[in-house]
Amino acid sequence: MSDPVRAAVCLLIVACLALGARHAASTGAVGGPRAIDDAGATYRLDEATAQRAGVALLDEEIRASTFRFDRTVTPEHRAVFLAAVAGARPQARRLIDLVDGLVTVSIGVPPRDRAIGLTRFDGEDYDVIVEIVGVVQHHGGRGVSALILHELGHVVDRALVPDDLMAQLDAYIPTGELCRPGEPTGACATVQERFADTFAKWAMDDLGVYGTVGYRILPPVPIGRWGEPLARLAEGA
């Protein structure tokens, strides 16, 4: 077996092993797993595919809904959150628009050590918590947008991206920087975090956000090519 072929095979094996634990280490999930094997996505975008997968169709009622904001969210913070979404590239914004009706947004410090963002999934809906004030102070407005789009990347992942598509996407994301002891970052980051970090870069069309907030994941280049399967997913919705 030639070296290039051997490298490709090893990369595929690593991606498949990582996908096996893709949702075992959840992004703050609460409650037990769904009773059915949904192949990594709780919804499908057309009825025939949903029936074959045995999962729910993302119906028109969900698609027509939008974010719910916790009553404690100020109008200013709501505007910051929505501006981050509005600034995303159209294909990313389309994917977010499909699932935003499943999301309740809170602003504040997530209940997890050193976290600045958290997405929790109860089997149907998502709670997204982002810390805005501290992130603005340390990373500026672009850092806030990266954080918000990272957390919404988790929602897009769990709601819409099946495991076979995730394997394809993850295979093109570089490993990342060396692991730091005790940190699930860089080469130690989970598939979910690798996707969410890269989704934010793709949505912003900005490789520079790698240096502000995130999991120290190197971006695939060109970032637009990485996102082409997601763009097709959005266009087919």
Average pLDDT of the chain to the nearest whole number? 85
Please, which pLDDT band fits residue 28 given cuts at 50, 70 and 90? very low
Reduced 3-state DSSP string for 136-198: HHHHHHHHHHHHHHHHHHHHHHHHHCCHHHHHHHHCCCCCCCCCCCCCCCHHHCCHHHHHHHH
**In the chain, what percentage of residues exceed pLDDT 70?**
82
pLDDT digits (tens, 9 = 90+) for 85-107: 999 999 999 999 999 999 999 99
Closest CA to 20 of 234, 230, 197, 192: 192
Secondary structure letter of residue 237 according to DSSP: -
Say what the pLDDT of residue 123 is: 87
pLDDT above 90 (res 16): no
Residue written as tokens 């996908």? 19
Say what the pLDDT of residue 152 is: 98
pLDDT above 80 (res 31): no
pLDDT digits (tens, 9 = 90+) for 188-203: 999 999 999 999 999 9
pLDDT above 60 (res 18): no
Instruction: Please tell me the pTM assigned to this model.
Output: 0.84
Say what the pLDDT of residue 211 is: 53
Helices and strands (H and E) in the chain: how many: 10, 6
Q: From CA 136, how far away is CA 148, in angstroms rounded?
A: 12
Please, which pLDDT band fits residue 178 given cuts at 50, 70 and 90? confident
Q: From CA 22, how far away is CA 41, in angstroms rounded?
A: 11
Say what the pLDDT of residue 23 is: 41
CATH topology of domain 3-235: Collagenase (Catalytic Domain) (3.40.390)
pLDDT above 80 (res 77): yes
Closest CA to 153 of 208, 190, 194: 194
Neighbouring residues of 69: CB distance < 8 A, sequence distance ≥ 6: 78, 81, 104, 105, 106
pLDDT digits (tens, 9 = 90+) for 204-224: 998 875 555 778 899 999 999
Q: From CA 107, how far away is CA 82, in angstroms rounded?
A: 13
CA 70 to chain centre: 21
